[in-house]
Amino acid sequence: MAERLLDEMIQKINQIMASLDGTIAQIHQMSGAINDMTQNFSEQTVAMTENIRLIVEVLKQFRVQSSKNLQELSDDFNQKIKELWDKKAIEAITEEEKKAIEIIKQTSKVVTDNLYFAQLLNIIQSIREETNRIISASQS
């Protein structure tokens, strides 16, 4: 009877060991899959970060070029006003026309600022969409 109990205990222990071996194998497989997902996520994050850096650089260049173009327009406008002043033609400009010129200057600045903010919002939206896509892909 003692031998039979001992044999049954050995058999149960062997079954538990086999079950644990299977569980350990599944854990190793899951660990490998998690490592692969982590590596893939890291690569995608690096790629997205680089894309964002490039987009920001392009925006900076666009901003510089826009500023240069606006500066050229401003310089040209100022030169023409100086010419008018030098010719005393500025005295002929009415108060209403002076207000219109000021409104044009303010509108130009507002349009420039709005373009810049619209571009930033567009980039933020793109980043949000890309992040959601990566999160969805990693959860699948």
pLDDT score at 11: 92
pLDDT score at 28: 92
Q: What is the DSSP string of 70-105?
A: HHHHHHHHHHHHHHHHHTTGGGGS-HHHHHHHHHHH
pLDDT in tens, 54-86: 888 887 887 777 777 777 877 887 888 777 766
* Domain locations along the chain: 42-139
pLDDT in tens, 16-55: 888 888 888 998 999 898 888 889 888 888 888 888 888 8
Helices (H) and strands (E) in the chain, counts: 2, 0
